[in-house]
């Protein structure tokens, strides 16, 4: 009984972390913040982006951005818009 309860608690904890990650990645700002967390772990900025975009695909079944250039375009546009 205890082993089953522990297994359920571990599964619940994993699902809660996954849910929290999905909530973060579902917003533009959250995706952007997570991208900066990935940069130190990757060899290039594009690799960090691809890792994150692939994770988004695993969680949501679609890519958030079509490619790195698309991500940069959207990011730059929003930065300029917020700068005004």
Per-residue pLDDT, 84: 62
Q: Rounded to whole angstroms, what are the CA distances from 46 to 5, 13, 24, 41, 83? A: 42, 31, 20, 12, 24
Domain extent listing, the chain: 2-83
Closest CA to 68 of 57, 79, 52, 84: 52
Closest CA to 45 of 58, 32, 56, 57: 32
Main-chain phi, psi angles of 58, to 5 degrees: -60, -40
Per-residue pLDDT, 81: 75
Per-residue pLDDT, 3: 84
Per-residue pLDDT, 77: 86
Q: How many CB atoms lie within 10 A of CB 65?
A: 17
The pLDDT profile of the chain, 84 residues, written as one tens digit per residue, is 788 888 898 999 999 999 999 999 999 999 999 999 999 999 999 999 999 999 999 999 999 999 999 999 998 888 777 766
């Amino acid at each position: 009984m205890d082993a089953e309860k522990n297994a359920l608690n571990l599964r619940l904890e994993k699902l809660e972390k996954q849910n929290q990650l999905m909530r973060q990645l579902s917003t533009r700002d959250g995706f952007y913040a997570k991208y900066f967390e990935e940069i130190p772990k990757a060899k290039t900025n594009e690799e960090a982006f691809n890792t994150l975009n692939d994770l988004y695909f695993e969680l949501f079944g679609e890519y958030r951005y079509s490619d790195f250039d698309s991500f940069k375009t959207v990011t730059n546009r929003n930065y300029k818009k917020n700068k005004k």
